[in-house]
């Protein structure tokens, strides 16, 4: 298969880890006889510096024609004091919305050799394997009006959803639960928000179409507690945009190895954007020591979700897993009796394991 892949390395460590993903993908391509064509474009702070905008036209056009997009990371102190519309994050929000990438998938699963670094006690975190599905193009992030009023003395933001926006993400969640352990936790704040009550109604309606999936409703405040006290009681979690932002980040630190975590932002036809959960980490940028695993596993998610290449994706996941079992780790992690390596070395080890 021939696939057009847009690379958006972005800021900080983004460039270094993107090289790792490319190397791994090229290896997979030759092994399986695929052809991946890479097109690199600017986004975020780098684009602000070079093009005067976090999301240049050229990048938008390229992304519109892509089969999939890999993103490194955006942002950094340098651009933190710019006005809202000129901030690196705007590029990311813009792409999500423009391409209609409504489903954000965030798997959280520990790796045995790394679990000792979890802030949670071993018996609490053990066995946790969660897929958080966050609605990504609606809610408070995009609702209008979002403005100052009364000469600047008041302000409103708007949490707005259309039924179809809720339906498609909830369908996605039920389907994902079917491919896992048939358990879906829907998170809302139905005791306060009208949007949450509508959300809950739709989940209940939809559940009739998926009688094999057990559904549980949990309030967002209770979910924030349960993620810490009983993380292994979850299978698939589905929730709206802002709740998903908070809960998926909360969940990302539970295993103690944030640098390992991938994410996917997809739409129904399979086009998607894939990025590691960690940020641009300006403090270690350029040093060649960033952990490439989150990016490499994001590339694996791309193969699976955008290209339907399940076998290829599984091979990458296994190669990453094996590298850890062999004791290799970048400086952000610790493995007892293990060996600390650089970004490049780690990438070579994964490639050798393929």
Ligand X SMILES: CC(C)[C@H](C(=O)O)[C@@H](O)C(=O)O
81 has binding-site annotation: yes
Q: Which does 322 bind (CB under 5 to 8 A by kind): ligand X, a copy of itself, none?
A: none
Six-digit token pair at 125?
Answer: 């975190």
Gap between the Cα atoms of 305 and 106, Å rounded = 13
**Residue 79 in marked binding region:** yes
Reported residue count of the chain is 354
Radius of gyration of the chain (CA): 20
Rule CB under 8 A: is residue 82 a binding residue for a copy of itself?
Answer: no
Q: How far is the CB of 279 from a copy of itself (least distance, A)?
A: 9
Q: Which is nearer to ligand X, 93 or 354 (CB)?
A: 93
Minimum gap (Å) between residue 46 Cβ and ligand X = 16
DSSP helix/strand/coil, 273: strand
Q: Which is nearer to ligand X, 137 or 347 (CB)?
A: 137
- Count of residues interacting with a copy of itself (CB under 8 A): 56
- Calculate ∠ Cα 69-175-100, nearest 5°: 35
Taking every pair of C-alpha atoms in the chain, what is the biggest distance, in angstroms?
63
Judged by CB under 8 A, does residue 96 bind a copy of itself? no
Buried b (16+ CB within 10 A) or exposed e, 28-54: bbeeeebebeeeebbbbbbbbeeeebb
Decide whether 31 or 122 has the Cβ nearer to a copy of itself: 122
Residue 4 Cβ, how far from a copy of itself at the closest point, in Å?
30
- To ligand X, the closest distance from the beta carbon of 190 in angstroms equals 10
Least distance CB 36 / a copy of itself (angstroms): 32
**Which residues, at least 6 apart from 224, have a Cβ–Cβ distance to it below 8 Å?**
246, 247, 250
| Beta pairing partners, 328 | 339
According to the annotation, is 76 in a ligand binding site? yes
Interface positions, 17-46, toward a copy of itself (CB under 8 A)? none
115 counts as binding a copy of itself under rule CB under 8 A: no
Which residues, in sequence order, are bridge partners of residue 265? 104, 273
**DSSP label of 72:** E
Instruction: Judge whether 212 is annotated as a binding position.
Output: no
Flag whether 5 is marked binding.
no
Q: Which region, judged by CB under 8 A, interacts with a copy of itself, from 6-14, 37-45, 63-71, 119-127? A: 119-127
From the CB of 319, what's the least distance to a copy of itself, in Å? 28
Angle between helices 293-305 and 343-353 (to 10 degrees): 40
Q: Which is nearer to ligand X, 221 or 352 (CB)?
A: 221
Report whether 204 contacts 186 (CB < 8 A): no
Q: Is 284 annotated as a binding residue?
A: yes
Q: Which is nearer to a copy of itself, 121 or 208 (CB)?
A: 121
Q: 279 labelled as ligand-binding?
A: yes
Q: Does 120 bind a copy of itself (CB under 8 A)?
A: yes
DSSP 8-state secondary structure symbol assigned to residue 260: G
**Contacting residues toward ligand X, per CB under 6 A:** 89, 92-93, 191-192, 221, 245
* Catalytic center residues: 141, 189, 221, 245, 249
Burial bucket for residue 61 (CB in 10 Å: 0-12, 13-18, 19+): exposed
In the bound state with ligand X, the residue whose beta carbon lies nearer, of 3 and 96, is 96
Is 290 within any annotated ligand binding site? yes
- What is the rounded distance in angstroms from the CA atom of residue 340 to the CA atom of residue 233? 33
Q: Pick the closest to residue 349 from 291, 298, 300, 277 (CA basis).
A: 291
H-run or E-run covering 236:
strand 236-239
Interface ranges with a copy of itself (CB under 8 A) = 84, 87, 89, 93, 118-121, 124, 140-141, 143, 146-148, 150, 152-164, 189, 191-195, 197-198, 220-222, 224-225, 227-229, 242-243, 245-250, 252-254
Residues of each annotated binding site: 76-89, 96, 106, 134, 221, 245, 249, 279-291
Residues of each annotated binding site for NAD(+): 76-89, 279-291
């Amino acid at each position: 298969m021939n696939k057009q892949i847009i690379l958006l390395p972005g800021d900080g460590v983004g460039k270094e880890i993107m090289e790792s993903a490319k190397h791994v993908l090229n290896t997979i391509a030759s092994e399986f006889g695929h052809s991946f064509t890479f097109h690199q474009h600017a986004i975020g702070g780098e684009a602000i510096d070079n093009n005067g905008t976090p999301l240049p036209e050229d990048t938008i056009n390229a992304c519109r024609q892509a089969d999939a997009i890999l993103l490194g990371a955006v942002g950094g102190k340098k651009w933190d004091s710019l006005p809202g519309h000129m901030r690196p994050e705007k590029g990311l929000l813009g792409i999500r919305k423009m391409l209609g990438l409504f489903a954000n998938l965030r798997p959280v699963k520990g790796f045995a050799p790394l679990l000792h670094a979890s802030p949670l006690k071993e018996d609490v975190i053990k066995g946790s394997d969660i897929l958080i599905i966050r609605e990504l193009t609606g809610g408070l992030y995009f609702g209008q009006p979002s403005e100052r009023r009364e000469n600047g003395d008041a302000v409103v933001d708007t949490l707005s959803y259309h039924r179809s926006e809720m339906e498609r993400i909830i369908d996605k969640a039920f389907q994902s639960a079917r491919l896992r352990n048939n358990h879906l936790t829907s998170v809302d704040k139905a005791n306060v928000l009208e949007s949450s009550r509508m959300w809950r109604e739709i989940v209940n309606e939809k559940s009739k179409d998926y009688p094999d999936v057990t559904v549980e409703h949990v309030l967002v405040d209770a979910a924030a507690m349960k993620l810490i006290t009983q993380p292994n009681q979850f299978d698939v979690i589905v929730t709206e945009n802002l709740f998903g932002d908070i809960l998926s980040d909360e969940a990302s630190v539970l295993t103690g190895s944030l640098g390992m975590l991938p994410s996917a932002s997809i739409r129904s036809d399979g086009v998607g954007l894939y990025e590691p959960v960690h940020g641009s980490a300006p403090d270690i940028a350029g040093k060649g020591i960033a952990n490439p695993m989150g990016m490499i596993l994001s590339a694996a998610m791309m193969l699976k979700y955008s290209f339907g290449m399940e076998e290829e994706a599984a091979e990458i996941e296994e190669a990453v897993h094996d590298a850890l079992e062999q004791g290799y780790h970048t400086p952000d992690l610790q493995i007892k009796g293990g060996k600390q390596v650089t970004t490049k070395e780690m990438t070579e080890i994964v490639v050798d394991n393929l």
